[in-house]
Structure 1
Amino acid sequence: MARSAAMLNAAIYDAESSYQLRWKGKITSEAYIHAEKYAGILEGPDEEERVIGRTAYNILLKLYGKNQTQFLDAKFRERFGTEPTEFDILDVTVVNKMVTQMMDARNGDGSDDDRVYAGTFEPGAWRPTSYPDMPDPSCAQHSQAVTPYWGLVKPFALTSGSQFRPDTPGLYGTYEKLLASDAYKAQVEAARSAGADKPTAKTPVVNRTATQEAAAWFWANDLDGTYKPPGQLLQATRDIATVRGLNTYQNARLFALVSIALADAGIAVRDVKYLTAIDLWRPVSAIREGGLDPEWKPLLKNQKGVNVTPCFPAWASGHATFGAAWAGILQRYFDNDAIAFDLTTDEPQSPVKKRHFESFSSAARDDAYSRVWLGVHFPWDAEDGIKLGDQVAGYVFTTKLRRL
């Protein structure tokens, strides 16, 4: 999702920049790939919207046309009142060039690597999280681990997925040293206490407030049918941009920056999860198989009420990395962190659908620690994700779409 959004919004930004060059005489920030000062004698009706809309449609058609052509066609008609297949001179002069340059840039980027994960059952190492009392057929064997080689995908801005790779808990070097450390034991106890679904004989107290539990579900978006973390953050970007009154060109740049940062955050965090010395097991494995509590379950459940855990290693947190990358771009774009705003969720199990925040960083931190309260992450997963995401945002903002 994050890769698709980056391709979509970066192509839209270059298309909008092309329009600005043709009819406004200049652009105020550099193109992502290339802005075309295309041919034209007079500006056509709704030309800016046509350039953007037809670029968006054709990128999405390339990405999802195999199964979603009818859906995309219907959305185009709803938005523009015309058929996307109708001839439009803008396809020839600019749109096809924007689409082609983006598809060419991402061709062979490694996103189609379908190799499966070959893990071990060494204590501390990630393993499937399906148990008899919490069955999850989608995570019953190592080979079902999700996108184990995504950390090798070509980034949109970073030099590599490992550019900002954090140290902990990888600094311990081996699972044996990690599990013997006091820091690890404290992490497990924090996750055990804050993330339990309910008290058990060996975990009699759940140390989580009602507000924290609401946050856990508000940010979840783990299940199919939700818009997942990238979608929630793009919706948040839309809400904030609307309130701030950004114009079309400003919007195009903001969405491109956010989307590029989210895409690279996804690559960077997958590098940490799979391509370091420590592919850390989830709290449910640490607590159960570490002998602390064989009945412990995370708060996270699927819509059938079965407790589940995402099917990939814990460290670092993807939600935390995405959230911090998003917040880092918004802080830098508006040159201000202390901007109040509301966020929404489409998580069906969330008790609240809207929450208020006083800053971008506070929302990112809430997002990060929601995963601890949901029982699927350790605190250092959240902290390292926050740091990683902000580093990604800083690099994206200072190297791409820079002010001219």
Structure 2
Amino acid sequence: MATFGRTPVSGLSLRRRSLLLGGVGGAAALAMLADGAKAAAQAPEIDFDLDTDNAIDLLQPANDAAVATPSADVLGPMDVTMFLWVNHVTVLAWFDAVAPYHSTAVGVYTRIGRRPDSESATNRNLNIAIFHASLQVVKVVVPEQVPVIRQLMTVLGLNPADESVDPTSPVGIGNLAGKGVIAARARDGMNLLGDVGRRYNPRPFADYTGYQPVNTAYELTNPSRWQPQLTPHRRRLGAGVADKGVFTVQHFVTPQLRLVKPYTYEDPGQFQLAPPDHTDHHRRGEYKRSVDEVLAASAALTDAQKVMAEFFDNKLLGIGQPRAVVARRHQELGVQGWVQLFLAHSTAVFDALVAVWHQKTTYDAVRPFSAIRHVYGHRPVRAWGGIGKGTVNDIPADEWTSYLNVADHPEYPSGSTTLCSAEAQAVRRFVGDDVLDWRLPIPAGSALVEAGITPTNAIELHWPTWTEFVRDCAFSRVWGGVHFRKTVERSIEFGAQFGDRGYEFAQRYINGDVED
């Protein structure tokens, strides 16, 4: 039997970590709800009190070993760009839901009248508003998770069927905030409804820009440009779980993201980023040097580097979790402070993502696997030889593969690096220091790519500062074989400016310094 607040509920047992968007609990909680008896045997009881606890703490993944271990299903059936879009929309709904209970804050999309101080002092109102705002977002963007949040709200003593829009009640404020954000972002360029350019059979989040690669998966005609990869068809993420004999060709995922409306600028083209001269095949010396740097990193892979490559490849952990680590260290922030921190963080990440996709489309740059084959053909190279093979000296270049699966979009700049840099700067500005101090235990054999093999022994990842975190985030992409060294070095600098912009945007809305 699990206990939520003071309400015992039989047949439901959920770990106190992410239950909804941006967390492990989405797919896991649905499975547990489908089999309450099994869940009760696997998960401990939790306790949540609307009057004293923090709803964001419940909706955000916790810092424990289970979350630290990379999970194949952590994002569910969702591309990372869509995950980050959904995450940002959710945070906006949270912020607009708590703004009426703050002395100066105003919502980004909903301007609901300020509530009296007597109401603002209670966690209950903030938590209720947040849960209802979350439900309104979930119903539209990830409807498959509606049973999870409805069940959670029910056991907390809330009524998920209450569609009140009374701007004087926390239920109404939450519903208004969630609906307002969805209405504002439904036509923001991401094609949430899937009907751009279509009358029938909508395709949510589908491309409508007409992007086509210059290379095919079968022929590299321009070695400077992106080549879609031919990959085994996988039912799930991770190694060794593919349909035998079935292969798929990549396509540029959500290229329309470059047209999505950002918050802190008008034109993503205003941000300067040098062309990827290091992967211009006409500059043969630099091109080969870039290739050799990736091969050298592949040949020198350590267990720690493999684990970090997988860790940062999981955007929930690398982008979604660090903000919560800092928030939990600053409990004095309370519900309002957590939401404000998350707004600064997610705005920085969101606006950085739009700018990254603009640059990726502009340069359409080649990935390492294509460049390596172009330079060395069938000649042997020294590199990681594949699962359980370690470093080998005789792998034909056209048989080389990166440690990580290659993402479905062009190489330059590095999205992961840019976003890590942006989030780090936003949180630094918000809390006033560079301290992260995040420790994550990684059990032996828990890697995804080399399951049961890597790491040989249990290890602990530790990032004392954001600066160290960003550097490992950047170079994990080189260790993983999916980016070039110069790409990630430039992406660190490129990303930081969006952290400043995200922080300053949040401060304007927190202080109410915006026009109606």
TM score, norm. by length of structure 1:
0.80
Post-superposition Cα deviations, 1:369-396, rounded to whole Å, max 9, x if no partner, equal 1010011110122123222221111122
Report whether the alignment pairs 1:238 with 2:324: yes
The one of 106, 125, 142 aligned to 2:225: 125
The one of 492, 502, 512 aligned to 1:386: 492
Distance change (3 Å), C-alpha of 1:45 and 1:364: closer
Q: Is the 8 A contact 2:150 2:160 kept in 1?
A: yes
Q: Which runs of 5+ in 1 are unaligned?
A: 21-25, 196-205, 222-228, 301-307
Post-superposition Cα deviations, 1:4-27, rounded to whole Å, max 9, x if no partner, equal 11111122112111122xxxxx12
How many residues align structurally? 364
Q: What is the CA distance between 1:118 and its match in structure 2?
A: 0.9
Instruction: State the match for 2:348 in structure 1.
Output: 261
Instruction: State the match for 2:60 in structure 1.
Output: none
The one of 297, 300, 323 aligned to 2:401: 297
Instruction: State the match for 1:148 in structure 2.
Output: 255
What is the 5 A alignment of 1:4-403?
A: 4-20=86-102, 26-27=103-104, 31-38=107-114, 43=119, 46-65=124-143, 67-78=144-155, 80-86=156-162, 89=166, 90=169, 93-112=172-191, 114-115=207-208, 117-121=211-215, 122-130=222-230, 140-141=248-249, 144-169=251-276, 178-195=281-298, 206-221=299-314, 229-230=315-316, 232-245=318-331, 246-274=333-361, 276=362, 278-292=363-377, 293-300=397-404, 308-342=405-439, 348-349=448-449, 351=455, 355-402=461-508
Q: Is the 8 A contact 1:323 1:364 kept in 2?
A: yes
Q: Is the 8 A contact 2:231 2:249 kept in 1?
A: no
Q: What is the CA distance between 1:230 and its match in structure 2?
A: 4.4
Aligned-partner Cα distance in 1 for 2:415–2:282? 23
Instruction: State the match for 2:198 in structure 1.
Output: none
Query: Secondary structure of 1:336's match?
Result: coil
Aligned-partner Cα distance in 2 for 1:257–1:39? 23
Q: Is the 8 A contact 1:38 1:94 kept in 2?
A: no
Q: What is the CA distance between 1:87 and its match in structure 2?
A: 6.0
Q: Is the 8 A contact 2:323 2:342 kept in 1?
A: yes
Aligned-partner Cα distance in 1 for 2:478–2:322? 22
Distance change (3 Å), C-alpha of 1:283 and 1:45: closer
- Which region of structure 1 is more displaced relative to structure 2, 320-329 or 121-130? 121-130
Q: Which amino acid aligns with 2:229?
A: T
Structure number having the greater strand percentage: 2
> Percent identity at matched positions?
25
Aligned-partner Cα distance in 2 for 1:331–1:324? 11
Q: What is the CA distance between 1:138 and its match in structure 2?
A: 9.2
Aligned-partner Cα distance in 1 for 2:118–2:183? 30
Distance change (3 Å), C-alpha of 1:32 and 1:156: same
Q: Which amino acid aligns with 1:2?
A: L
Tell me which of the two structures has the higher relative contact order, counting C-alpha pairs closer than 8 angstroms and 6 or more residues apart: 1
Q: Is the 8 A contact 2:369 2:401 kept in 1?
A: yes
Distance change (3 Å), C-alpha of 1:343 and 1:392: farther
Q: Which runs of 5+ in 2 are unaligned?
A: 1-82, 192-205, 216-221, 233-238, 378-396, 512-516
Distance change (3 Å), C-alpha of 1:127 and 1:211: same
Post-superposition Cα deviations, 1:302-336, rounded to whole Å, max 9, x if no partner, equal xxxxxx42221111111111211111111111111
When the two chains are superposed, the root-mean-square deviation of aligned CA atoms in Å is 3.1
Distance change (3 Å), C-alpha of 1:241 and 1:139: farther
Q: Is the 8 A contact 1:127 1:141 kept in 2?
A: no
Q: Which amino acid aligns with 1:341?
A: W
Aligned-partner Cα distance in 1 for 2:157–2:171? 21
Distance change (3 Å), C-alpha of 1:49 and 1:361: same
Q: Which amino acid aligns with 1:9?
A: V
Aligned-partner Cα distance in 1 for 2:96–2:149? 21
Q: What is the CA distance between 1:183 and its match in structure 2?
A: 2.9
Post-superposition Cα deviations, 1:180-200, rounded to whole Å, max 9, x if no partner, equal 2533322111112213xxxxx
Q: What is the CA distance between 1:232 and its match in structure 2?
A: 4.1
Query: Secondary structure of 1:342's match?
Result: strand
Q: Which amino acid aligns with 1:313?
A: P
Query: Secondary structure of 1:358's match?
Result: strand
Aligned-partner Cα distance in 2 for 1:190–1:217? 20
Q: Is the 8 A contact 2:252 2:409 kept in 1?
A: yes
Q: Is the 8 A contact 1:32 1:400 kept in 2?
A: no
Query: Secondary structure of 2:187's match?
Result: coil
Q: Which amino acid aligns with 1:185?
A: K
Q: Is the 8 A contact 1:230 1:322 kept in 2?
A: no
Q: Is the 8 A contact 1:219 1:347 kept in 2?
A: no
